[in-house]
A and B are shown apart, each in its own frame.
Chain A
Amino acid sequence: MTEKNKTVGMSLVVQTVTRWLKGFIFLYGVYIVLYGHLSPGGGFPGGVIIASTFVLLTLSFGKERSLGKLGKLLASELDSLGALLFLLVAATGIVWGGTFFSNFIERIAPSRHFHLFSAGVIPLCNIAIGMKVGASLFMIFIILAVIRVKEINGRRKLITTEKRRTKK
């Protein structure tokens, strides 16, 4: 394995620990999103934890590794998809429940309490918000990681340090 951690990323100890732990951190974030209606948590902290998986990956290995796992286009698509899904669930409440944002699944088919698939429309909203917050914070961090202020011809300019694929 080539030693590539000379200029980007951190030391070998941090990289090894990150390689082991990133799956568990992502799983923990998904757990907090899904069980939001039964234990403390919900969409917002779960989405932030999912974003911090990618932040850890970026800090340890450099931005190419985390951009390879979740590209910028896919992240912005997920962000918009989360927001649209939330709006869709709210608008369906008008059609079937009578009011905006009504919990129509719970009105139509009341569920058993304290189970994972209970509480009607609330887990769907949690998943939508978790996707949205996670993708947004991932994009913000990637932009801050590729931006640099550089002196060019005596003036400062903001440049991006990505390798651009040249279109021929």
Chain B
Amino acid sequence: MIYALCFILFLIGLYGVTCKKNIVKIILGMVIMEYAVNLFLILSGWRKGGQPPIIDSQTNMETFVSRAVDPLPQALVLTSIVIGLGILSLMVAIAIRLYERYGTFDITEMRRLKG
């Protein structure tokens, strides 16, 4: 099923966050997790034979209501994608500061807290 494949993508991202040593791989794991969640939300709103929820001057309202896809998940995912970009910039800023402090991107070398 399609939702199972989305879930497998999410678990691959989770593997990247928990099992990798390089900070950039951890950041990429979080990006993949966010992509998987957004995709799952949009796919849950699809309707068979569906059309985008945009009206123009020639649409018949009855066929529009019976054929349009769900607009609510799209509204939520729109803001989620842009928030993901803000989170990514924050993570990259932290990674640059960590590189300045410890000289490496390897998290097993960053145990000493006194720098």
The dominant DSSP class at the A interface is mixed
The dominant DSSP class at the B interface is helix
Are the CB atoms of A158 and B97 closer together than 8 Å? yes
| Residues of chain B with a CB closer than 8 A to A133's CB | 82
Q: Which residue from A40, A114, A144 sits with its C-beta under 8 Å from B57?
A: A114
Q: A114-B57, A133-B82, A137-B85 are in contact. Are A40 and B100 (CB under 8 A)?
A: no
Q: Does B92 contact A (CB under 8 A)?
A: yes
- Give the size category of A's interface with B: 10 to 19
Cα distance A147–B100 in the bound complex, in angstroms: 11
Residue of A nearest to B89 (CB): A140
Q: Does B52 contact A (CB under 8 A)?
A: yes
Are the CB atoms of A44 and B79 closer together than 8 Å? yes
| Residues of chain A with a CB closer than 8 A to B99's CB | 149, 156
Identify 10 residue pairs between A and B in the complex whose beta-carbon atoms are under 8 Å apart, listed by A's number: A39-B54, A44-B78, A44-B79, A133-B82, A137-B85, A144-B92, A156-B103, A157-B100, A158-B97, A158-B100
Chain B residues engaging chain A, CB cutoff 8 angstroms: 52, 54, 56-57, 78-79, 81-82, 85-86, 89, 92, 96-97, 99-101, 103
Chain A residues engaging chain B, CB cutoff 8 angstroms: 39-40, 42, 44, 48, 113-114, 133, 136-137, 140, 144, 147, 149, 156-158
